[in-house]
Amino acid sequence: MSKGIAVGESVEASKVRVADVELELFDSGRGRPLLFLHGDNGFQFRQAFVSALSAERRFLAPSHPGFGKSSLPDWLDCVDDIAHLYLELMDVLKLYELDVVGCSIGAWIAAEMATKTPERFRRLVLVGPTGIKVGPADKLDIPDIFAKPEEEVRKLLYHSPDAIEVNTAKMSEDELAFMFRARETLALLAWEPWMHNSKLKRRLHRIATPALLMRGESDGLISQAYLEAYSGLLPNAQMLTIKAAGHMPELEQPESFARAVLEFLGD
């Protein structure tokens, strides 16, 4: 692990080499470790929920391969590859009986990880989870965000799309690179088949650990029916809806999100 670089109040960014992948890793707070697996847009430590969670726990957040400043080797082309990589990351960091919070594609990664070594996980929080196919083969369970205009995608993602400013004209080159690299990698990981692994739903029964499946009430990507189907495949799952939030309740309702996570984890 390379030397940490301070990026904000009590937050350090390090580079951790796992296999032939160099992962960007954010580390803040103290206490029982909590592994946070970010969603489709990447991880930014300045988001309000980070300070709320790291006030109670040691908060560990890797940037997935191909996101942020993490490398992306030629061989890595699916979510299952990242799940195996993060299990090795847990070995490197000596993490056992771990609590994991995953959002969107991060929730998919978390579910894949927990089916492989369920004994290593204490509790799971899956927020707007993707990763399974529950509807008919000729119909998408999750809308194809790459086939829709940006304005329509924003309405699917946010309860209050006008309150989330995304003005590319005002972005720096680094910010633009961060955004477009995330989109490119998401397409690589989730394009075909769209947003799921056909085998995952047949493995979810292995996850006996308590799981909380969460969605924003205005989530236009993950429907209530999809969440209920996902929950039904887990032996010990409960569901929660966050009001006035879309696909990313951690951004639109950070206090409610953090409170729900900590209450479920038992803090």
Question: Would you kindly state where each structural domain of the chain is located, as residue ranges?
Answer: 5-265
Decide: residue 4, CB within 10 A, 0-12 exposed, 13-18 middle, 19+ buried. middle
Nearest to 263 by CA among 232, 235, 242, 233: 242
Q: Class of 5-265 per CATH?
A: alpha beta
If you average pLDDT over every residue of the chain, what do you get?
A: 94
How would residue 6 be classed by pLDDT, with cut points 50, 70 and 90?
very low
What pLDDT was estimated at residue 188?
97
Percentage above 90 pLDDT, the chain: 88
What pLDDT was estimated at residue 10?
60
**Rounded Cα gap, residues 140 and 17, in angstroms:** 36
The answer to which of 2-16, 96-110, 114-128, 237-251 has the lowest mean pLDDT is 2-16
The answer to whether 209 and 118 are in contact (CB under 8 A) is yes
Give per-residue pLDDT as tens, 73-112: 999 999 999 999 999 999 999 999 999 999 999 999 999 9
Bridge partner residues of 181 (DSSP): none
Nearest to 82 by CA among 127, 28, 124, 19: 19
H/E element, 109: helix 105-116
What is the DSSP code string of 4-48? PEEEETTEEEEEEEETTEEEEEEEE--SSEEEEE--TT---TTSH
How would residue 2 be classed by pLDDT, with cut points 50, 70 and 90?
low
State yes or no: pLDDT of 180 exceeds 60. Answer: yes
What pLDDT was estimated at residue 100?
98
Give per-residue pLDDT as tens, 204-257: 999 999 999 999 999 999 999 999 999 999 999 999 999 999 999 999 999 999
